[in-house]
Amino acid sequence: MRNLSRFVAFCALALAPISAAAQVWSPDAKQLIIEGAPPLRMDFTSAAAAVAPTPTPLLPNNAPGTLFAFSPDGKTLAYRNGSGDLVLMDIPTGRTIPLESRLEAPVSWAPDSKTLAAVCRNDSGQLILHIDYREGGYRIKPIVLPFHNLASTCLPVQWVPETDNVLLAGGDGTKRDLWLVDAGIPTHLTQTGDVLGFVVSPDGSRVLWIRRSPNTHYILFSLYELIINARSLRKLDFPNRLPQVNPNPHNAVDSVTQAVLSTDLTHIAFTTLQHKSPDTVTVWLTDIKGSTVQKVTTLTSPPTTPPSFSPEGHLLAVLGRQKQTPVLVLFDLQANLGRTIALTPPGQ
């Protein structure tokens, strides 16, 4: 609660207008990166920052950057620079190391922070998975992936803890499936083409994913679990309808556009659209059983980038616009408290 109050004060007093693109938590949940022009680092840990906060440019000389991802030890920041290339920045010194070209999605770090998985695109338009060392060089030979697009509805690249494997959500056309890259070999885990979001369990033993519904008036979405080593699959108990979202076929959202599971596997944040309100998108939060549901915010469409849970799963951050104003919505799951902060300078 104290961190939430400090963060609200920080944003309300000091942020300049930005065009928000995505939001990325640090491993200790004490910093938040907001992508924009330029990207900003927001630190809300100290009492001084709460009283007189000053947002700081994330990169030297206000350089552009996107697709940020902190290493688990908090020492390195991976991102795509203005040329589209993957760069690693040593946070204490600001020193940068270029690794790969044409980064397609945020990298996923191994838990030990020594290696990372990066998906890039080559000159032929193929997606290539690189498993790189933080200090430079690759761990295994780059892998050509058997599909051409990554999912945009969630974080599409996730390391499997306790292994050297990577899970990806991708496909061709409108289809998106889960793929496991094990010992350098991509293997199809799902073949329904309707994966909205997924998360790997902290121990690496299982993956939970959300399947898009063909008709949200009757079924909002479906939730599945796969034990990775055994390849055993089961559908989890999640209601077809949520009273606040699709209570009946005549009063329901028309589509679920994004879905994100918390890393502790307890909550789902998702966004919805309705044909009768084409200019807005609604962000919802539910527990994994669908027993408690609440509206987090309503934003101006097109939909914002997917919401993001803090690493421990206690906070949910959403970026978007309300009318013409960029806003940050921060929801504290423990306090059951949400705040909307207009990203405008003092005095406006």
What pLDDT is stored for residue 19 in this prediction?
A: 34
Query: Is pLDDT at 6 greater than 50 in this prediction?
Result: no
Instruction: Of 233, 205, 237, 241, give the one whose Cα is nearest residue 223.
Output: 237
Neighbours of 252 (CB within 10 A): 18
Query: Is pLDDT at 54 greater than 50 in this prediction?
Result: yes
Residues near 287 by Cβ (< 8 Å), separated by ≥ 6? 266, 267, 268
294 pLDDT tier (thresholds 50, 70, 90)? very high
Q: Which helix (H) or strand (E) holds 3?
A: helix 2-14
- Most confident option among 37-41, 196-200, 343-347: 196-200
347 pLDDT tier (thresholds 50, 70, 90)? very low
What pLDDT is stored for residue 88 in this prediction?
A: 96
Query: Is the distance from CB of 51 to CB of 45 less than 8 angstroms?
Result: no
What pLDDT is stored for residue 233 in this prediction?
A: 94
What pLDDT is stored for residue 221 in this prediction?
A: 98
197 pLDDT tier (thresholds 50, 70, 90)? very high
Instruction: Of 6, 5, 40, 4, give the one whose Cα is nearest residue 20.
Output: 40
What is 20-45 written as a DSSP string?
Answer: ---EEE-TTSSEEEE-SSS-EEEE--
What pLDDT is stored for residue 12 in this prediction?
A: 34
Taking the C-alpha atoms of residue 304 and residue 22, their distance in angstroms, rounded to an integer, is 8
Taking the C-alpha atoms of residue 301 and residue 304, their distance in angstroms, rounded to an integer, is 7
Which pairing describes strands 166-171 and 149-150: parallel, antiparallel, or unpaired? antiparallel
Rounded to 5 degrees, what are φ and ψ at 109?
-90, 145
Q: Which helix (H) or strand (E) holds 2?
A: helix 2-14
pLDDT digits (tens, 9 = 90+) for 205-219: 999 999 999 999 999
Neighbours of 343 (CB within 10 A): 22
What pLDDT is stored for residue 61 in this prediction?
A: 82
What is 253-275 written as a DSSP string?
Answer: -SEEEEEEE-TTSSEEEEEEEET
pLDDT digits (tens, 9 = 90+) for 138-186: 778 899 999 999 999 999 999 999 999 999 999 999 999 999 999 899 9
Taking the C-alpha atoms of residue 299 and residue 283, their distance in angstroms, rounded to an integer, is 8
Residues near 347 by Cβ (< 8 Å), separated by ≥ 6? none
What pLDDT is stored for residue 285 in this prediction?
A: 97
Query: Is pLDDT at 20 greater than 90 in this prediction?
Result: no
110 pLDDT tier (thresholds 50, 70, 90)? very high
10 pLDDT tier (thresholds 50, 70, 90)? very low
Taking the C-alpha atoms of residue 169 and residue 153, their distance in angstroms, rounded to an integer, is 9
Taking the C-alpha atoms of residue 55 and residue 42, their distance in angstroms, rounded to an integer, is 6
pLDDT digits (tens, 9 = 90+) for 297-309: 999 977 668 999 9
Strand, coil or helix: what is 133? strand
Mean pLDDT, rounded, of the chain: 87
Taking the C-alpha atoms of residue 300 and residue 296, their distance in angstroms, rounded to an integer, is 14
The tokens 């496909």 sit on which residue?
A: 171
Task: Express the helix, strand and coil content of the chain in percent, nearest 5 each.
Answer: 5, 45, 45
